[in-house]
Structure 1
Amino acid sequence: MKSMVIGGIILIVALMAGTYFVAGDAFNSDDYINSLTMLGAVAIITITVFVALKYINQMKNDTAGGELADEKWDGIGEYKNPIPTGWGLAFIGTIVWLFWYWTVGYPTNGFSQIGQWNEETIEFNKKFESKWQNPSNETLTAMGESIFLVQCSPCHGVDAEGINGKAQNLRKRMSQDSVEYVIKNGSNNLKTVYPGGMPPMMLTEDKDIEEVSAYVAGGFKGEQPAAYGVCAGCHAPDGAGIEYVGPNIKTYDNALVSAVLENGKRGLIGIMPSFKGRLNPTQEKAVTAYIKSLGE
């Protein structure tokens, strides 16, 4: 038992040293919450180690005894022994701590850097929205270029051409291969804006798929294929889309770009993650204005 106690003390010291090595800088400030946190870590580590040692020692040396209960499962009985006193006290202590934390404990009555940051961000966004309620298209385009270079160019490139096919080329709406992929596989990326999604194989003939994809990727120029009538029911005859039914497949617009930013997108090239919460509505409009300007 003596060797176990010594080992436990060494373990406690090692764990505390590791904790201080990783997060020691936080305990040199005047924030008393950090000091309480460190004190709590010491208590938890110490109690955990010695409770574990206690029960390891019991398992090695104690023998079961007492009155057996009448119930048995597969020949295995259970003694009518009371719960361990330490376990009971720990359970009650946990309940007491829970109510303390809910009522007077951190973070409900303490300073929070995250809370301060959230408050400042909310205040800034209010000022931003108030200032840019009705910006001109030129202002939106300039704003969108700045946002694009920070948020979008790492994948789409500073020229928006998709970095050799690694991401969507935003200088044109869609490539023929992308249109064929969507026709064959469907698309359910933008359900918050277009809840119905698009089922796969709305066109089944290879000739129809090739003609429609070439027509859509070509910007709806030339003679419209007869098979496009199937697509027009959701995307409109001119490809401009129908609200809540199908997106614009001719050009980029606010609804489409906002939907992609909010939901992310899966397609022929790969997966684009959601940008939900990273841009406010004005910034999304600005990105749309900039992307639209690329094709002009």
Structure 2
Amino acid sequence: MKSMVIGGIILIVALIAGTYIVAGDALSSDISIESSLTFLGAICVITITVFVALKYVNQIKNDTASGELSEEAWDGIGEYKNEIPTGWALAFVGTMVWLMWYWTVGYPTNGFSQIGQWNEEVNEYNARFESKWENPTNDTLVAMGESTFLVQCAPCHGVDAEGINGKAHNLTKRFSKEQVVHVIKNGANSLKTAYPAGMPPMMLTEEADINAVAEYVAGGFKGEQPAMYSVCAGCHGADGAGMAFVAPNIKAYDDALVTAVLTDGKKGSIGMMPSFKGRLNETQEKALAAYIRSLGE
């Protein structure tokens, strides 16, 4: 036992020295009551832990089992009818009490939450924002949309909205012929929130018809309307203005189309635009649509 005590003391000294080596710089740079108490607490924890471990190691080595054996035995191995140790029982009950307190009253259920505070402040700011810009003019929407575009959209579409090395579509032009041809041949089913039916691929099959319709739509619906545009007009309308919940406007970047693309993302001829759902409020979405329309004008 004496050798174990000496070994325990040596172990305590070694652990305290190791703790000081690791955390000594912080202690020497901040000589405050808190830091001193923290280091003193570490010494206490190390000392108590080592001596408790030595106590039980000594019991394992020297104690013998005693008490009344139960009647059941397995291969000559029996079990004593000893009572639960008082300390263990108190620790178990205390743990259960602490658990119920933690679930019902303690942190973090009713405690301060930085995330909760952040959400409250964001909700409060959004409410003020919506109240301030409840009825903005078109000029105000365009200015607001430009700021939103430069932050959210410019990394792909560029500050001039003309796209960056083919990474995103040129928004100064409504649609290119290549985009329209791609949609006709491959369909467009990504805007499911606003237009759940989508558009099936190959509504037109003849190359001449596809090119004629694509040139007419990309050209802004100017000139003589191709006869086969009637296939598109069934959903998009004769003027291309679209139908709510059926097909989007293919004549202009109206609010509904821009909101649908922001909500669901858009798969096009050069890749997939991710969804921006939840990143912009309703006013910002309208502002972005107004700004994009102003680019074409």
Describe the shift of the 1:93–1:262 C-alpha distance in structure 2 as closer, same or farther (beyond 3 A): farther
Match in the other structure for 1:177: 178
Distance verdict in 2 for CA 1:99–1:264, change over 3 Å: farther
Separation (CA, whole Å) in 2 of partners of 1:274 and 1:123: 25
Secondary structure of 1:213's match? Answer: helix
CA 1:230 to 1:99, structure 2 compared with 1: closer, same or farther past 3 Å? farther
Identify if the C-alpha distance between structure 1 residues 96 and 163 changes in structure 2 by more than 3 Å, giving closer, same or farther: farther
Aligned to 1:231: 232
1:257 — aligned with what?
Answer: 258
- Once residues 294 and 167 of structure 2 are traced to their aligned partners in structure 1, the CA distance between those partners, rounded to angstroms, is 22
In structure 2, distance between residues paired with 1:269 and 1:235: 23
What is aligned with 1:136?
137
**Count of paired positions:** 222
Deviation at 1:99, TM superposition (A): 5.2
Residue matched to 2:54: none
Deviation of residue 166 (structure 1)? 1.1
Q: What do residues 64-99 of structure 1 show as CA deviations (whole Å, max 9, x unaligned)?
A: xx69xxxxxxxxxxxxxxxxxxxxx9xx99998875
Runs of 4+ in 1 over 3 A off after TM superposition: 92-102
Partner of 1:275: 276
1:219-257: CA deviation from partner (whole Å, max 9, x where unpaired): 111111111101001111111111111001111000000
Structure 1 residues 200 and 102, CA gap change in structure 2 (3 angstroms): farther
Query: 1:111 and 1:269, CA in 2 relative to 1: closer, same or farther beyond 3 A?
Result: same
Match of 1:244 in 2: 245
SS in 1 for 2:153: helix
Matches within 5 A, 1:87-166: 100-166=101-167
Q: Residue 235 of structure 2: SS of its match in structure 1?
A: helix
Q: Render the CA deviation track for 1:20-51: whole Å, top value 9, x for unaligned.
A: 99xx9xxx9xxxxxx9xxxxxxxxxxxxxxxx
1:146 offset after TM fit, Å? 0.8
Give SS of 2:227's match: coil
Q: Which amino acid aligns with 1:280?
A: N
Q: Name the residue aligned to 1:193.
A: 194
TM-score normalised to the size of structure 2? 0.67
The answer for unaligned runs of 5 or more in structure 1 is: 1-12, 29-34, 36-65, 68-88
Structure 2 distance, partners of 1:279, 1:106, is 33
Q: Distance in 1 between matches of 2:265 and 2:258?
A: 10
Partner letter of residue 157 of structure 1?
G
- Cα deviation per residue 1:231-289 (whole Å; 9 max; x = unaligned)? 00111111111111100111100000011111111111111111111110000010011
Q: CA deviation at 1:177?
A: 1.0
Question: In the TM superposition, what whole-angstrom CA distance separates every residue of 1:95-153 from its partner, at most 9, and x where no partner exists?
Answer: 98875553234321111111111000101111110111111000110111111111110
Query: % of aligned pairs identical?
Result: 71
**Where does structure 2 lack aligned partners over 5 or more consecutive residues?**
1-14, 31-37, 39-73, 76-88
Q: Name the aligned partner's letter for residue 182 of structure 1.
A: V
Give RMSD over aligned pairs.
3.3
Which letter does structure 2 place at the counterpart of 1:225?
P
1: CA distance, partners of 2:231 / 2:219: 18
Aligned-partner residue type, residue 143 of structure 1: M
Name which one, 1 or 2, has greater alpha-carbon Rg: 2
Give how far 1:184 is off.
1.0
Paired AA for residue 239 in structure 2: D
Cα distance, 1:192 vs. partner?
A: 0.8
Q: Distance in 1 between matches of 2:97 and 2:218?
A: 66
Q: Which residue of 2 aligns with 1:40?
A: none
